[in-house]
Amino acid sequence: MSDFLLNAGRQTLLLELQEASRLPDRLDESFVRAAQTIISCKGKLVVSGIGKSGHIGKKLAATFASTGTPAFFVHPAEALHGDLGMLESQDVMLFISYSGSAKELELIIPRLEEKSIALLAMTGKSQSPLALAAAAVLDISVAREACPMRLAPTSSTVNTLMLGDALAMAVMQARGFSEEDFARSHPAGALGARLLNKVHHLMRKDDEVPKVTVDANVMDAMLELSRTGLGLVAVCDSAGQVSGVFTDGDLRRWLVRGGTLNDAVSEAMTTGGVTLQSQERAIDAKEILMRHKISAAPVVDENGYLTGAINLQNFYHAGII
């Protein structure tokens, strides 16, 4: 039984791969026309399809929406019972139907023409009603389905998914869609955390910020180190600008050299030190810490005034790893 199952699975994959391997050679002016229609669309891309085509259509609508093209899925039956009202003249419809002769098309196509809505087709039948009515046709035809009975949509749904992805990626790149743009559509994901968070979103603020003034002594700074546990203290002048940092390492080195806790912290601190800008990207700030092989730094505004403090743990908690 195990050999039978493995062979059946492998045969399915080989058949689907064989059919999909023909897709690159099919890309022609119709593909370009479909992509340009979507790029120039001033409204939304509305994806529709029924059955397995509908399931793939939902995925493609989500892919377009997350890569810079406003898009949503409408079920053909729902479209005929009110949802056609969602479509406006500036929209584009991408209809998926292998046969290209879904009954719903008899009523949908005239309504699209009335509203001057451009129709794009993904179909396996180049002479179907859908194909003949479309401004551009994407060929998803297969020589055979991977289903042993040649009935269940298998190879054809793979072709639909792949060709739809190819269209979405071509449009995305033509728009100049960037990682930052993608992150804005995925603010809760790992990429969103990496690219959207600024230092001021993650940093410690107010009483959580370890700080002393330049006229404090080493004892004051040591107590501040202990209070916050950040591993450093920002040493500020009377106006609040950062003059330097005092770290656990500075304390050890100072005492080893014979310094006392009553000495001025300005003598024991690291003058200047590494500071981070509150408005810079968190991922860039983390790289600065890693490059300098330090675990924490004060955060300043554009004028050098202390606004917070941050350490590597703050980045990890935000999912920036």
Q: Which two tokens stand for residue 105?
A: 């098309």
DSSP helix/strand/coil, 264: strand
> Measured between alpha carbons, how far is 234 from 249 in angstroms, rounded to an integer?
14
As its CATH architecture, domain 2-177 has 3-Layer(aba) Sandwich (3.40)
CB-neighbour burial class of residue 69 (10 A; exposed 0-12, middle 13-18, buried 19+) = buried
**Extended beta strands in 248-293, E state:** 270-271, 276-277
pLDDT score, position 194? 61
In 10 A of CB 109, how many CB atoms?
A: 18
Angle, alpha carbons 226-229-234 (nearest 5°): 85
Backbone φ, ψ for residue 126 (5° rounding): -70, -15
Tell me how far the alpha carbon of residue 78 is from its chain's centroid.
30
pLDDT score, position 16? 96
Would you say 229 and 185 are in contact if contact means Cβ atoms under 8 Å apart?
no
- What are the structural domain ranges in the chain? 2-177, 199-317
Closest CA to 41 of 120, 132, 105: 120
pLDDT score, position 318? 78
pLDDT score, position 192? 56
The mean pLDDT values, 10 residues at a time, for the chain of 321 residues are 92 96 96 98 96 96 92 93 91 97 93 95 96 97 93 94 97 85 59 71 92 94 91 92 92 93 94 90 89 92 92 84 72
pLDDT score, position 191? 55
In 10 A of CB 163, how many CB atoms?
A: 24
**pTM for the whole structure:** 0.70
Q: How many CA atoms lie within 13 A of 271 on its CB side?
A: 2
Please tell me if the domain spanning 2-177 has the same topology as the one spanning 199-317: no
Q: Which two tokens stand for residue 52?
A: 């397995």
The DSSP annotation for 183-228 comes to: HHH-TTSHHHHHHH-BHHHHSB-GGGS-EEETT-BHHHHHHHHHHH
Instruction: Point out the annotated binding site.
Output: 75
Instruction: Point out the annotated binding site for Zn(2+).
Output: 75
pLDDT score, position 59? 97
Q: Which two tokens stand for residue 210?
A: 């370890």
Q: Which two tokens stand for residue 270?
A: 């690291």
Which of the four CATH numbers 2.40.40.20, 3.10.580.10, 3.90.190.20, 3.30.1280.10 does domain 199-317 have?
3.10.580.10
